[in-house]
Amino acid sequence: MKLSSTGLVRDEVGADTSGPVMRALGLIDTILRGVGQVMLQNNSYAGLLFLVGVFYNSALFGIGVLVGTLASTLTARLLGADRAQIRDGLFGFNGALVAVGILYFLHPGLLTWVCVVVAAACSSVLMAAMLNLLRAWKLPVLTAPFVFTTLCVFLATARFGRLHSTELLPSAGLPQGATVEGVVTGSTLLHGLFSGVAQVFFQASPVTGLLFLAGLLVSSRLGFVAAIAGSLIGALVAWGMGAAEAAIFSGAFGFNSVLTAIALGSVFLRPNMASLAYAALATAVTPLAYAAVSALLEPVGMPAMTLPFVLVVWVFVLAIPVFPRLKAS
């Protein structure tokens, strides 16, 4: 092990990691990187600041993030997944989101916590499955395991009487043409800008959003700028197309755009003029994808979560090799 610019410690292949202190430090580092990977940051300091941001808003969700990350990480360890990938937090971030998602939409109780642990464990199986599935295209798995695992749990509330959803889970209905609701002001956009960043972890607090941005700044200046631009573009496009003021205020149209902007603006493309325009296009259509996925899931009463981000980034990353003006990084 040695000190690392991206975290507490860093395993080297063949290094001596036998000491219990080092092993504990290593696990903490792994967990924090897992939290960091929720915003595509392989950096335990970023993960720490994200965790602080969640705890600032809610201790329940903070504990959930730790339990979920631990459960999914240990599952991957027990099944013998690649050590380097585990240490990079790749088997942690979906568990983190599974936990906070379940605690957000289901009433906490023993069975809900059992669901958190089992679903976080399953998110690692799904992560492994999708790593294998998408390998041929070098396509990142992103938060797809979180989305599919939690959708499964939430859908099951319609058959299992002991799973109780909170009032935050949308109720099933038939989508109707929208009308413009409420008046968007500067304060709507400002609140939406920071809440949009916070909503990546289901937190609607602007302060949490600021702490998340601090975490991004520690890890990647480009990621920091992309997150702000993404949240702003998401809110502006939604406003321009006539989304409800309350939804823009809460950051609902921001968090997927934040993730799209980070992914295409700072992670998967080498920056040049073409890739900047490309990332901007992807970010600008993400609110549309959010609206579409959200309407698509309305008859089953399910939230879109980060599925729009996953779909948009998959499409835009898959297209890169066909467009030589863009360079994958």
Binding residues among 215-274 for its own copies as defined by CB under 8 A: 238, 240-244, 247, 274
Q: Which of 19, 109, 271, 299 binds its own copies (CB under 8 A)?
A: 299
Minimal distance in Å, beta carbon 60 to its own copies?
A: 21
Minimal distance in Å, beta carbon 185 to its own copies?
A: 17
Q: Which of 3, 13, 21, 136 binds its own copies (CB under 8 A)?
A: 136
Minimal distance in Å, beta carbon 107 to its own copies?
A: 11
The pair phi, psi for residue 165, each rounded to 5°, is: -85, 150
**Closer to its own copies by Cβ: residue 4 or 164:** 164
**Closer to its own copies by Cβ: residue 19 or 137:** 137
Count of residues of this chain found to bind its own copies when the rule CB under 8 A is applied:
80
Is residue 328 a contact residue for its own copies (CB under 8 A)? no
Distance CA 133, CA 131 (A): 6
**Closer to its own copies by Cβ: residue 10 or 164:** 164
Is residue 318 a contact residue for its own copies (CB under 8 A)? yes
**Closer to its own copies by Cβ: residue 67 or 81:** 81
Distance CA 144, CA 127 (A): 8
Among the residue ranges 18-26, 93-101, 117-125, 199-207, the one whose residues contact its own copies (CB under 8 A): 117-125
Residues 6+ apart with CB under 8 A from 273: none
- With beta carbons less than 8 A apart as the criterion, state whether 234 and 253 touch: yes
Distance CA 329, CA 327 (A): 6
Minimal distance in Å, beta carbon 296 to its own copies?
A: 6
| 11 to 50: interface string for its own copies, x by CB under 8 A | ----------------------------------------
Minimal distance in Å, beta carbon 159 to its own copies?
A: 4
Minimal distance in Å, beta carbon 162 to its own copies?
A: 3
Is residue 128 a contact residue for its own copies (CB under 8 A)? yes
Among the residue ranges 18-26, 58-66, 125-133, 217-225, the one whose residues contact its own copies (CB under 8 A): 125-133
Q: Which of 15, 19, 323, 328 binds its own copies (CB under 8 A)?
A: 323
**Closer to its own copies by Cβ: residue 117 or 229:** 117
Q: Which of residues 47-86 bind its own copies (CB under 8 A)?
A: 76, 78-82
Minimal distance in Å, beta carbon 121 to its own copies?
A: 7
Would you state the structure tokens that stand for residue 302, as one six-digit string?
């399910």
Find the angle CA(321)-CA(38)-CA(33) to the nearest 5 degrees. 105
Q: Which of residues 140-199 bind its own copies (CB under 8 A)?
A: 151-153, 155-165, 172-181
Distance CA 260, CA 283 (A): 6
Q: Return the closest-CA partner of residue 68 out of 109, 106, 26, 35.
A: 35
Distance CA 95, CA 146 (A): 7
**Closer to its own copies by Cβ: residue 7 or 308:** 308
| Amino acid making up residue 53 | G
The pair phi, psi for residue 183, each rounded to 5°, is: -115, 125
Q: Which of 168, 246, 300, 328 binds its own copies (CB under 8 A)?
A: 300
